[in-house]
Amino acid sequence: SLEQRASVPVEVIPLKRAELQKRGVYTRTQDPKQSTEFTYCRFFVPYLNNYKGWAMFVDDDFLFQGDIADLLDQLDDSKAIMCVQHDYKPTVTQKLAGRAQSPYPRKNWSSMVLWNCGHPANEPVTLSLINAESGAYLHRFSWITDDNLIGAVDFSWNFLVEWYTVGDKVPNAIHYTEGGPWFPDYRNTDYAKEWFDELKKYESTLAKPRLLCPYELF
């Protein structure tokens, strides 16, 4: 969805923990609170981008409805990172097919991050720090000691489903943070229709039908 609506060139690169482990980049042991395989992978972005330029991390449960160029126009080189600064307190104890929901300060800020990879404030984000520090430290961006270096982005670019409302306006980036319509319990969640419409568009481009996960069979 991001590529389909982008008016500027974009390169989408999946972050795969197994590949980072094979390269010797990711050496952390499994965290029992880790709810996805990219819980910690996101923090390798400055390293993987050679600590140069801007790069964006985004969770895999987003549906983009806006043009990413409009977000990139907001980049501020004085900031170390930019993100939507949610005041989010989860209403459920589980998410994503039964995985535990862990509340903490700056919850969901790290689910979409614009990284200014070469900013001096990000110099501490080394492999040793990422592989050793706690999830709480990393997800709160605790290496950034000046809060003014964390730039704010409009909430429409990380629109938490069933948390925010915008009336009839379609958000720029829909985030199914507590569970998307690909899960049986969330078939009728807000913005489910938009997701199914996007799925149909994608499937129409495939040469042959894709294999379905068991929970998709409905």
Per-residue pLDDT of the chain (218 residues; tens, 9 = 90+): 999 999 999 999 999 999 999 999 999 988 766 667 789 999 999 999 999 999 999 999 999 999 999 999 999 999 999 999 998 666 655 555 455 556 667 888 999 999 999 999 999 999 999 999 999 999 999 999 999 999 999 999 999 998 888 777 789 999 999 899 999 899 999 999 999 999 999 999 999 888 777 667 65
Angle in degrees, CA 57, 215, 11, rounded to 5: 25
Quote the pTM value: 0.87
Cβ burial of 168 (10 Å; 0-12, 13-18, 19+) is exposed
Q: How many domains does the chain have?
A: 1
Measured from the Cβ of residue 207, the count of other Cβ atoms closer than 10 Å reads 4
Q: Is residue 204 one of the residues assigned to a domain?
A: no
**Residue 72 · residue 64 · CB < 8 Å:** no
- Residue 107 and residue 127: Cα distance in Å, rounded? 23
Range(s) of the domain holding residue 64: 2-153
Q: Is residue 27 one of the residues assigned to a domain?
A: yes
SS3 97: coil
Q: In 130-204, where do the E strands start and end? A: 150-152, 159-160, 173-175
DSSP string, 30-53: PPTT--STTTTGGGGHHHHTTT-S
Pairing relationship of beta strands 81-83 and 94-95 according to DSSP bridges: unpaired
- Residue 12 and residue 4: Cα distance in Å, rounded? 12
Q: Is residue 201 one of the residues assigned to a domain?
A: no
- Residue 181 and residue 195: Cα distance in Å, rounded? 7
Q: In 125-192, where do the E strands start and end? A: 150-152, 159-160, 173-175
Pairing relationship of beta strands 62-64 and 94-95 according to DSSP bridges: unpaired
